[in-house]
């Protein structure tokens, strides 16, 4: 993927997530990776960049799939870690990735309360993203969550990309 995006997005970073998956972020702007936060939890990265002269913090995550009890516990710990990172954040911040949780989960709702984040889907519909091979069973487990320093301009599901998830296409802007 790095080679595919390198021309248009020269700055990138990747971390290993669960099993054989990775979390990959590519940017047109230089990024600074917070190594302490990034390597504290597998499958998560915290980075900052500057967009339109504004600092922006991005937390990208591919959380554990909660099928086994141990993975359920790990996924919930990942969410707690993200909520703690966001609570300390002063920059406009977004959390993006496959969080392996639906908005109807009590754990998700508790995470949203603790983190103070807003789901970018609000006002734009459900836009379920997984599993692409069972269209009637699609659920929203991929999320873009923002703090009160950002607002969503548009939110939609992208076209099929040979992944088991549909991509999310989101446009954000800084709040004045």
Does the pLDDT value for residue 121 go beyond 80?
yes
Share of the chain above pLDDT 70, in %: 99
pLDDT at 17: 87
Domain boundaries, the chain: 2-174
Does the pLDDT value for residue 75 go beyond 90?
yes
Does the pLDDT value for residue 2 go beyond 80?
no
Does the pLDDT value for residue 58 go beyond 80?
yes
Neighbours of 66 (CB within 10 A): 17
Does the pLDDT value for residue 36 go beyond 90?
no
Rounded CA-CA distance 125/19 in Å is 31
Does the pLDDT value for residue 5 go beyond 90?
no
pLDDT tens for each residue of 122-172: 999 999 999 999 999 999 999 999 999 999 999 999 999 999 999 999 999
CATH match for 2-174 among 3.10.129.10, 2.60.320.10, 3.60.10.10, 3.20.20.140: 3.60.10.10
CB 152 within 8 A of CB 123: yes
CB 94 within 8 A of CB 145: yes
The pTM (predicted TM-score) of the whole model is: 0.94
User: At 76, is the pLDDT very low, low, confident or very high (cuts 50, 70, 90)?
Assistant: very high
């Amino acid at each position: 993927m790095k080679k595919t995006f390198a021309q248009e997005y020269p700055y990138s970073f990747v971390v290993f997530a669960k099993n054989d998956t990775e979390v990959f972020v590519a940017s047109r702007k230089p990024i600074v990776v917070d190594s302490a936060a990034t390597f504290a939890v597998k499958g998560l990265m915290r980075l900052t960049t500057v967009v339109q002269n504004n600092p922006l913090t991005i937390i990208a995550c591919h959380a554990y799939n909660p099928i086994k009890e141990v993975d359920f516990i790990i996924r919930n710990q990942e969410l707690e870690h993200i909520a703690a990172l966001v609570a300390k954040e002063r920059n406009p911040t977004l959390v993006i990735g496959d969080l392996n949780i639906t908005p109807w989960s009590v754990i998700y709702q508790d995470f949203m309360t603790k983190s103070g984040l807003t789901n970018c889907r609000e006002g734009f519909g459900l836009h379920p993203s997984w599993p692409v091979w069972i269209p009637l069973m699609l659920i929203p487990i991929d999320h873009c969550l923002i703090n009160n320093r950002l607002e969503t301009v548009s939110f939609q599901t992208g076209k099929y990309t040979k992944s088991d998830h549909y991509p999310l296409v989101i446009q954000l802007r800084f709040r004045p």
